[in-house]
Structure 1
């Protein structure tokens, strides 16, 4: 019952997305299953040694450091909730440390490659699927929004008068993102073309499939991956790579870090600062290529 109470708390009080709640639930089910089979204990009687055994179990089964860290974060939140509810008297997570995860720089695609993709007539035509596909790429690169944010967009979220898009981000936090006149015109053209399709099943979502159904994550990911393959040989070709490209491009052109934070919808500046490392690495590369003493 305690797990259900925690998930209800996340949904109604923390206002987490259904995707995030599903991840918490999966982690807790896995942990509960391990504890019952290994120690025959309820979750409220777990001690730090049991959590450490769970860590060892995960590592023995080749679970990556990032995933282990995320699951421990789930447990930390869960037991913190139980502590506040006076269901337990002490959290078993107090003496548990997550494994160190090496920091990875955000993967991005150079502006020149994205310009080659989006400005060329080679990759897109005037058909509805092609116009929609190009709009998806342009919107990710032109706004830095997340995949879930794009999928939740409605036509009414676009303000063509002042060239902005209203986005509902994580934890139902709303923000307004400015867009270029070019992207605004592309959005207008897409909405008109979408109306002309006369889809039987009208959806409220801005992005739809070829049949007019509401777009879904795998559908959008496959589109992004397919088109980025034309201009990039790197392994990662996802909507989040375009989000990273947006942020890196802004930073390289002198945008204020706090402004980038607001545009991306980050909760803290620490999440945004990772992009500064990309800029430093870029400067090092330029220095090595251009300076005679490098």
Structure 2
């Protein structure tokens, strides 16, 4: 019911990211499919039905975090239907979110990563090699999200003021500084892109080897391939570089509020998770160095 209108509501009014948009749409489609299987109308859904549906997801092996995402999506969907006058109430407002265990952000060794990025021979002497290095340097050097990386255009780079304009979640804008190495690399990359005449194909900064707009899977493959040379950990996603960026700043004495602004977090709570990584690192140092540890 109203699924297309709900999707447009999320995209144009709520200004959710493409990733969140896809996740919410998937959750609602799965929910509507279950109601259809049970021959249950949306108007007949009560808070008991809502609880039973989410409990079924948990029993099927979904994590508490995944179930909470479903709850958030379905609360939003029913709230939208109420606004449209299609439903009189929202049964999901009476359902409490599950307590999900807090997981520490996964990071890679920043010294090994820096050494990799400083090695010219680690990247092929081709446009693709230059692009791959630019992707890694941008993610590690600015802490931006994957979706934010894919939306950067050449004109978003201010070489004079040494910063980058980022469009974050819900199109919220922020400026992030660019270090000297990254600025020089971006100049090289953009010049090579123009030499390849790729700027006539796509307006985006990061492009494929054919000059087309880069996509999520391509960035994942780039990051995974290169991180595998410096880390044996299972998780090697672009978000790991964001975590590594934040943890490196915190370890070197950066103010938590400053890190919050750089990451584009709406509140300080999301940033505070990185303090746990620093505490764990201090505990490790203490155990290794203190005679009574």
Q: Kindly state the Cα deviation for residue 26 of structure 1 after the two structures are TM-superposed.
A: 1.2
Gaps of 5+ in 2: none
8 Å contact from structure 1 (residues 114, 231) kept in 2:
yes
2:193, 2:199 within 8 Å by CA — same for their partners in 1? no
3-state SS of paired residue (2:120): coil
| Farther-moved stretch of structure 1 (266-275 vs 72-81) | 72-81
Q: Which residue of 2 aligns with 1:257?
A: 256
Mark the CA change 1:282 to 1:203 in structure 2 (over 3 Å): closer, same or farther.
same
Give the TM-score taking structure 1 as reference length: 0.94
Aligned residues: 293
Residue 220 of structure 1 is matched in structure 2 by 219
Higher mean alpha-carbon deviation, 113-122 vs 282-291, is at 113-122
Shift of 1:239: 0.7
1:175/1:265 contact within 8 Å kept: yes
Structure 2 CA distance for aligned equivalents of residues 16 and 286 of structure 1: 41
Give 5+ residue unaligned stretches, structure 1: none
Q: CA offsets per residue over residues 105-127 of structure 1, 9 Å max, x none?
A: 00011211112211123412432
Q: CA deviation at 1:84?
A: 4.6
11-20 or 283-292, which deviates more: 11-20
What's 2:27 paired with?
27
Contact 2:148/2:168 (<8 A) preserved: yes
Superposition deviation, residue 269 in structure 1: 0.8
Q: Per-residue CA shift, 1:89-145, capped at 9, x if unaligned? A: 432123322332111000011211112211123412432111111111111000000
**1:11–1:124 distance in 2 versus 1, CA, 3 Å:** closer
> What TM-score, normalized by structure 2, do the two folds share?
0.94
| Alignment partner, residue 280 of structure 1 | 279
User: CA 1:200 to 1:167, structure 2 compared with 1: closer, same or farther past 3 Å?
Assistant: closer
CA distance in 1, matches of 2:90, 2:214: 42
Give the equivalent residue in structure 2 for 1:17: 17
Which segment is superposed worse, 86-95 or 20-29? 86-95
Shift of residue 163, structure 1, vs aligned partner: 0.7
For residues 47-126 of structure 1, the aligned pairs below 5 Å read 47-85=46-84, 87-126=86-125
Partners of 1:2 and 1:120 in 2: how far apart?
53
Check the 8 A contact 1:131/1:190 in 2, yes or no: yes
**What is the aligned-residue RMSD (CA, Å)?**
1.7
Deviation at 1:7, TM superposition (A): 2.7
